Each structure stands twice: as structure tokens, then as C-alpha cells.
Structure 1
Amino acid sequence: MTPMSSSPSVDLAARTRTDGRWTPRLVLLLIALAWPTQLLAAGGILGANATAGVAQAFHTTQVVWFGLTLTLVSTLLTPFVIKAGDLYGKRRVMLAMTALGALGEMLAALAGSFWLVLAGRAIAGCYGPFGALSFAAVRDLFPPRLVKQASGIMGSSVGLVALVSPFLAGWLVDNWGYRGALWFLAAATAVACALIALLVPETPRHAFGSRFDWPGGLVLGGGLTAVVYAVGQGQSWGWADLRTLGWLGAGAVALIAFLFIERSSPNPILDLEVLRRRPVALALTAGGLAQTVAFTMPGLAILLALYPHIPGVSAGLGWTAHHNAVVSVSWNLVMFGTGLLVSRYLRHFDARRIWCAGLVVMALGYALVGFYHSNEIELIVTSCIANVGAGVVVAGAPALVVGVVSRDEQGLGSGMLNMLISLFGAIVTAGAYAVLAADSTVLDGTAFYLDTGYSWIFWLGALVTLAALVLSLLIPPLHDPSDDDVPADVQPA
């Protein structure tokens, strides 16, 4: 007899001998989930390249909100997205998110005022938490023996995105301005919506019959959003400014209140009992810290590449954006290739050992980048070493989460990992700019950074990676999804 899912409309197929084999249907399914997941990374690069054009087009000094609006909306909605995926099925929620994302980017591209641009970006922010569902959907939709490999391939594809996006961004912005980048994002997100509609079956409802915990979701999302906002603005406001302290305090109070609200809620938006388990807490924290380094350090390295070289004033390399894109091909290829290789062997070896080895290499790599970054050869060699480790990290993090949560808890685990990456990313970025500011020269109102500051931001990445390694060494042996009693080949209703 075929076991039934927690949703009355979704049946789970019986395990077969082909459960560990790739089929054309599974390849297409992986593409349909990877495209919208990695479009988020591409959107970050395209958005960064479009920012200057937006500022000039609308003559605004508030262009920071062009990116910050999307980040804040995404952070606020993440708890609701996690719960909605379990309540209504991840496919339905992913369709709504991608449709809103395409609509928001289209509105921003058509906008004739800066405030309408921000309104469009706010709507597009509904698409931001997509990764909280896509990796959980892999656990629901792929055969157990392929879960770690499929998750690793999807995570490592960020290296391919980092390889192509700088060239794409330059071509779009140079030929069509910021609107070209936004129209591309709108079209690509619409394609993502179509891929999900055509290729992704519905997933089980892991919280079928329960209700939304609106107070808990609003307090958690609002608290995290307040903290991210304060950290993002702290460098410009000043860390002792009343506004910075006020937003940080409000966020802290909200997060403490959330703990009390969840204890009394019959349908908590996050299962705190799961998050209190030591393996889960360690894996999520270590995974969040390590992926923050893997995603944040390359962006900070762009400052080094593009800032001018003025002896005694600015220690940048003075490259053009195109030259930086050409040079960065090397380490992005290393990251992508390493991720694919690791994904292939995750099903055969202890994912925890592979993960820890990757952390060691990434820490060593960024320590070396801190010492050697004065020309193309030095930066290519040291960054390639760092990105060998980063490739392991982006491929191994999903397997780490899979190994500490059950199938029903996968949505919660993936969602919490995404929230921690956003939170840690804001903190590490703010810390990096604070380090740079401590060793800077202000000339005609513009801050230029000296070499000691650049060295320390890479050493900061190495230190954060070592913290993730220490936590990872405490994680107990991981659960293998191939041992799940219920297979994961889900057919559409």
C-alpha cells in the first residue's frame, strides 16, 4: 500500500530501484528550481550595477533604498513564506512569489519617479525568500538518495551566476541603462514562474490543518527587519547614534517578545523545539556564517578592484568593471567546478568531513588574500584557493541542514538558514566597512581606503570562517536522507 502524505491531494510514490538514478524529468525539475534560486544572486549583481544609474536618473541622495527596500521586505516575509509553504504546498507559494517578483521589477522598470521605483522593488522583495522553499522542495520532490547531490548542485550553481552576471550587467547597463537591468530581471523572473508552473509538482503540506500565527510572524519578521535596517544604516548614521541604537533596541525587544509569543501559540510560525536541538542550532549557525563569507567577500573584493590607486591616499587596484569581470572568471570557475565535484561525492562520503575540509581551505584562502592582493596574479592565486573552499561551502551547506532535520522540518531548516545568512551578511558587511573606515583618507568628501583596511576585511572573512569551523566540529554524525522511511518522488495531484 502506498503511504499517504499529510496533504489529502498529494500521494507519495513507492520506492523503486531507480530512486538513485537521474532521469530527464529530475534534471528538468532541478533546472526549474535552480533557475529562480540563483536568479536571486544574479539580481543582486544586476541591482548593484544599476544603482548609480537610478541615482543619476532621479537625482536622489537616497539611492541606498533601491537595494535596502528589497532586503527589508524579503526579511520581513521570510517567516510567513516558511509557514505558508508547509500549509499550502511549496509550489503554490513559489508561483505567487515569482509572479510578484516579475510584477515588481516591471513596475520599477516603468516607474517615472523614484518612489514608484521603490514601490516596485518592495513588491519584488516578495520573491526574496525563494531559497527558503526551493531547497526544502528538493527534499520533498527528489528520491532520497539524490537529495544531497541535487541540493549541492543547486547551491554550487551560484558560481556560474557569479561568472556570467558581471558581463551581463555591464552589457545591459551600458546599452540600456538601469531600466535594461530591471527589464531583464522582470523577464527572467517570469521565465522562473513558467518553469515552476510547467515542471514542479506540488509538495506535501507538512503543517496541514494548522493556522497562521500572525502575531508571531509579524514580531519575528519585524524584529529581524529592524536589526538588519539598523546594521545597514549604522555606518552612515554612526554606531552610537540614537537612531541606530533605537532600531537595534526595537529589534532586540521584538525578538525577545517572539520567544514568549511562540511558547503560548497553539500554531507557532517556527517550531522552537526543533531549533533548540543542539545539532540543528550548530548546523544552522555554522552554515549561516560560512555561506555569509562565501557570498559577501567577493562583493567586498570589488571595492579593492574598482577603487583608484593613489599612493598614500587610496590602495585600490584601479581596474575597470570589465577588467575585474575578466579577472574574476578564474576564481568563479573554480568555485563552480569545485561545487559540482563535491555534489557528486556528497552521497558517498561523510558530508560533515567534506564541509569541515572546505572551511579549512576557505579560511586559509582568505588569510592569504589578506596578505597577497596587490596585482592580478596574486589575487587570482589566493582567490582561487579561497573559492575551492567556497565551492565546498555552497554545495555542502544544504546537505548539512538535510542531515540534522527531518523531512517535515526541512522547510523550517532551510528558511532559518536563509534568515541567518541575511542577518550575518548585514553584520559582516557593516563590520567590513567599519574596518575600512578606520584606515581611510577623506579627500573632497570622498573616503578612500588604505591597504591595511583591505587586508583586514579578508582576514575578517578568515576569522568568521574559523568560527564556523569550530561550531561544525561539534556537530554530531549527520542523518542520511536515503534512510528516510518515506521516499520523496512526489507526483502532482
Structure 2
Amino acid sequence: MSHTQQAASSRSSGHTRIVLVLGLAAMVVSMMQTLVVPILGMIQSDLKASTASVSWVTTATLLSAAVFTPLLGRFGDQHGKKPTLVGVLVVMIAGSVLAATTTSLTWLIVGRVMQGAATAIFPLALSVLREEIEPEKLHGAMALVSGTLAFGSGLALVGAGLLTQGSHPDYHRPFWLAVVLAVVALVGVLITVPASRTKTGGRTDWLGALTLGALLVLLLLPISQGHEWGWTSGRTLGTFAGAVVMAGVWVFTENRVEEPMVDMKMFVHRPVLFTNLAGLLLGFAMFTQFIGVSYLVQMPEKLVGYGFGASVLAASVVYLLPTTLVSLVGAQFGGVLVRRLGARVTLAAGACFGVLGFTWLTAAHDTSASVISAGMLIGLAISFGYASMPALIVAGVPAHQTGIANGINSISRSVGSAVASAVITSLLASKSVPLPAGMPALPRESQFTLSFAIAGGAFVLVAVVALVGLKAAHAPRTPVVRKAVTPETTELASAGSETTPV
């Protein structure tokens, strides 16, 4: 083997390790979102908390992710991806250790806030890939890392179910799993990920971060707590109104500061705007499948006339794990389709699988085979969506805005998941089966049917976004900066203006 071939083989091997490490880090991120779903009842019982209080275990992570993801994504672009990645992972490990050792609901929520900051790892990982991976392999690498998000969400459900089995279940165990995986990811990042070759530098837009954080908190808080507060209560309507006001304040701020965290022109650029809309709809559909199927299969058929009476563990392993496995495998095919057909076509193809899967769930959810098969189609849809959206974002923004743009896309999916949680929970609670006094209310089957139909409608809208909204997508025009021409500046200019067909 010649020296050139050896060098090429070494670079390829190094890039493979980078992709695998970043995929592991992204998987840990997604696990934080669903890790507590199977153990919320256990936490409520052990800590003797109310339903409203324990719901903050999930809400706190969502709000933390909304605040820190865009800030840290931009910070990584400015000051280096690797140190930012390391810092975020250290914070997440500390939060996971706190959650795994505390017996206080307050400190558990603090730990979950620290875990939420880890959501910034995903856009940072994509920024690293854009900098390190050759253009011809970039889509496949992004698809693999993106595919681990859906896999991690399902793995967390399964892991939490397995770790809390037995005669003495302990809700702390799943958090220790998070600690172990995060430590492995941290070691991998320290050893494998190279230091950033390009940094934009500049000031951190703290005012923009503060106003965007306030906007997202005011928006997500009533979405996640509306079913507890009441959708027409003064608190819910007031926070929604506050979100509208803060949106205006944020836009005004970003248009006035010299170095804004979010370039408003980038934010409303057609590919970015419609990709974020697709992300919101995809997040809604994915979480609807997780919640809807999990609850449906646990319904006692003898009492309500439908369901399979599955345990929490069976719901995760038998009915949801196939979806996550298909998502992981499908991400590889999604990357191939993005390279050969384009991200827009791949997104539309995934949406069609999603429509088919939810149509199947809507029409026939009376057998385990139907529920599992439909879920696998939905998993394929999710993987294609996750594979295509980073490619659309990368094609729509200059290299130095990759982190913040993908951060906002991550938030759009989180908002979609929060909306799904609120909508589906409210739908299932709105109509219940008549049961003897003293028994907990259980939803009518029609409410599950309606939930699946709505999620199918969300995938129809994703197809419309892909085929119509993104049809006119084009590569961004990067402003030309007049500088002395040197080999170094020429290389940086080329890196900043590279585009990808969509």
C-alpha cells in the first residue's frame, strides 16, 4: 500500500471513529427526553409528590433544552466545538449523578435542568461533521448521527423498563445508566474529536439568548402544563400572550445588536423556515406514536374492550423497540437517498411512510401485529426525516451558522414533542369509559383513533412542506468579505460557502 493510500485509509478510519462517537453522544441526548417517561409514577410515589409537581421532571428538561441549545450551538461556532461539547457533557454527567443520588424532588428537577442542556450536543455534533467529513460522505454521516436520536429515545424507554423491574424497583437506576453512557461519550469526544480548525469568534449575544430563552419558556410552559392549569385559565392564556410579546422583543433585539445570536435573514430563509416547520410536525408525530402506542397496549381489554394489558416493560420492548430499531437501520438508507435523490425527496418519501403507518394504526390497532408493523413504518418515516433535515439545514446556511441553525431545528422538534404531549394527554383525558366508582378513568378507544389520525395528518403536512414549501429551496448567497487573498483565507472562504444539493 502506497503512502497516499495509507494516509487516505487513516483519515477514513479517523472519520469513522468521529461519526461513531458523535452518534453515541447524540443518542445520550435523546435518551434524556424519554428516560423518565416509564418511571414518572414511581417517582411520584417514592417522593410523595402531586401529579402537577412531578410533571416538572419532564418540563424542566424541555425548558432547559429550549434555552441552552441555541446559545451553546452559537457558542460552539464562535469559540470551538470540542471544548463546548466537553463542557456540555460534563454538565450532563453532573446532572445525571445528582438525579441518581437525590431523594428530593427539587434537586431531581435541578438535575433534569442540567441534563436538558445536553440537547445542544446534537447541533454541535453536526457542526463538527460539516467541518471534518468529506462532502461526498457528509450526508451519510449526518444521517447516522441523526438516526441515533430516535434510537436513543426508544432505548431509554426500554432501559428504564428493564432497570426498574423486580420486587424492589428503584427510579435512580435509569439515571445511573445515563451517567455511564455520558462518561463513555465524554471519553470518546476527548480522544477522537479534533479541535476546531475554524472559529468565527466575536461577542456572545447574551441579550439575544436571554430574550429567546424567555420566549421559549413562555411558549413551552403553557403547552406542557396546560392540561394541569386548564387551557382557558388566566395563567395559560397569560403566558401565551407573554410569548407573543416576547417574540416581538426578541426580533427587535436581534435586528439591533451588532453580532446577533440568530441572523433573522437566516431564520426566515425559505429552506430553513420550512425545514423547521417539518421538524415541528415530525416531533409531533414521533411523540404521538410513543405516547399513543405505550398507553394503548397497556389498556386492560377486559375492562375497556380494547388494548392488550401489556406491562410497561412489554410496551417498551415488544411494541416500541421495533420502531426504534427500524429508525436506526433506516437512517443509513435515508443517507443514501439524500445523496442520490436529494433531501427534499427523502423527506417527502419518509412522510408517505408516516401517513401509511398512522393510517394503519388508525384503522386497525386491534392486534399486536398491526401495532408493531405500523410502528415500524413510522420508524422508517422518522429516520428519513431525521436524515434529510440536517442536509436541508446545511444546504440552507453558511458553514459558520451550522450550529445555531441546527440548534433551532432541534428546538422545533422539541416544541412539536411538547405539543404532542399536551394534545394527546388532553384528548385521552377528555372522554373516558364508564367504570365502577373508585376506579381510575380510562380513555375511550375513539380517542386513540383520533390521536393517530391527527398524527397522520401531521405527516401529510410534512409531505406538503417537502414537495411545495421546499420546492424553491436554493443555496444561500454568502456575503463576500473583502480581504487580502492568501492560501489560508481562500481555504476558509471555500469551507464557508460550500453547499449541498437539496
What's the TM-score once normalised by structure 2's chain length? 0.87
Q: Map of 1:315-330 to 2, 5 A cutoff?
A: 315-324=306-315, 325-330=317-322
Is 1:299 equivalent to 2:291 in the alignment? yes
Alignment partner of 1:451 is 2:445: yes
Asked if 1 retains the 8 angstrom alpha-carbon contact of 2:219 and 2:243, the reply is: yes
Do the aligned partners of residues 128 and 440 (structure 1) sit closer, same or farther apart at CA in structure 2, a change above 3 Å counting? same
CA contact (8 A) 2:398 2:496 kept: no
Work out whether 1:121 is the aligned partner of 2:115. no
Q: Which amino acid aligns with 2:35?
A: L
Residues 432 and 164 of structure 1: CA distance in aligned 2, closer, same or farther (over 3 Å): closer
> Cα gap change, 1:17/1:244 in structure 2, threshold over 3 Å: closer, same or farther?
farther
Q: What residue in structure 1 maps to residue 413 of structure 2?
A: 421
Q: Which residue of 1 aligns with 2:59?
A: 68
Q: CA deviation at 1:43?
A: 2.8
AA paired with 1:27? T
Pairwise CA RMSD = 2.6
1:257 equivalent in structure 2: 249
Please name the residue that 1:273 is paired with.
265
1:334 aligns to 2:322 (yes or no): no
Amino acid at match of 1:330: P
Counterparts of 2:243 and 2:134, CA distance in 1: 40
Amino acid at match of 2:416: F
Q: Could you tell me whether the CA contact under 8 Å between 1:291 and 1:393 is conserved in 2?
A: no
Kindly tell me: are residues 382 and 22 of structure 1, through their superposed partners in 2, closer, same or farther at Cα, counting changes over 3 Å?
A: farther
- Aligned counterpart for 1:112 among listed residues 103, 118, 128: 103
Tell whether 2:50 aligns with 1:57. Answer: no
CA distance in 2, matches of 1:202, 1:370: 49
- Aligned 8 A contact 2:301 2:307 in 1: yes
User: In the aligned structure 2, how far is the partner of 1:22 from the partner of 1:302?
Assistant: 43
Q: 1:307 to 1:361 in 2, by over 3 A?
A: same
How much does 1:338 deviate? 2.0
Gaps of 5+ in 1: 1-15, 489-493
Code of the aligned partner of 1:486: A
Q: Distance in 2 between matches of 1:487 and 1:22?
A: 22
Retained in 2: the 8 A contact 1:132–1:415? yes
Shift of the alpha carbon at 1:164? 4.1
Partners of 2:496 and 2:232 in 1: how far apart? Answer: 53
The equivalent position to 2:80 in structure 1, one of 74, 89, 109, is 89
What per-residue deviation string (whole Å, max 9, x for no partner) do you get for residues 428-461 of structure 1? 2212223223332475373311111001111111
**Counterpart in 1 of 2:31?**
42
Gaps of at least 5 residues in structure 2 are 477-492, 498-502
Residue 33 of structure 2 aligns to which amino acid in structure 1? G
Bigger Cα displacement from structure 2, 26-35 vs 280-289: 280-289
Whose relative contact order is higher, 1 or 2, with alpha carbons under 8 Å and at least 6 apart?
Answer: 1
Moved more, 332-341 or 419-428: 332-341
Q: CA deviation at 1:284?
A: 2.2
Displacement after TM superposition at 1:150 (Å): 0.3
Q: Using a 3 Å threshold, how does the CA distance of structure 1 residues 358 and 238 change in structure 2: closer, same or farther?
A: same
Q: Counterpart in 1 of 2:479? A: none
Q: Give CA-to-partner distance per residue, 1:295-348, whole Å, 9 cap, x none.
A: 44223321111232345x474432112332124343333332222222234323
Which SS does the other structure have where 1:60 is aligned?
coil
The count of aligned residue pairs is 469
1:374 match: secondary structure: coil
Alignment partners' CA distance in 2, 1:63 and 1:20 = 51
Displacement after TM superposition at 1:269 (Å): 1.2
- Rounded to whole Å, the distance in 2 between the matches of 1:145 and 1:67 is 39
Q: Over residues 403-438 of structure 1, what are the superposed CA-to-partner deviations in whole Å (9 max), with x where a residue is unaligned?
A: 222222211220110111111221222122232233
- Match 1:188 to one of 181, 189, 192: 181
Following the alignment from structure 1 to structure 2, what is the Cα–Cα distance between the partners of residues 370 and 44?
A: 26
8 A Cα contact 1:361 1:388, kept in partner? yes
- Counterpart residue number, 2:161: 170
Partner in structure 2 of residue 33 of structure 1: 22
**Kept in 2: contact 1:70–1:128 (CA 8 A):** no
| 1:150 aligns with one of 126, 141, 144 | 141
Question: Residues 291 and 230 of structure 1: is their aligned pair in 2 closer, same or farther, counting only changes over 3 Å?
Answer: closer
SS in 2 for 1:174: coil
Partners of 2:162 and 2:239 lie apart in 1 by: 39
| Counterpart amino acid of residue 52 in structure 1 | G
Q: Which runs of 4+ in 1 moved over 4 A?
A: 16-22, 477-480
TM-score, structure 1 as length reference: 0.88
- CA shift digits 1:193-238 (9 cap, x unpaired): 1111111112245531x21221221111111112111111101211
Amino acid at match of 1:485: S
Rounded Cα–Cα distance in structure 2 between residues aligned with 1:123 and 1:328:
27
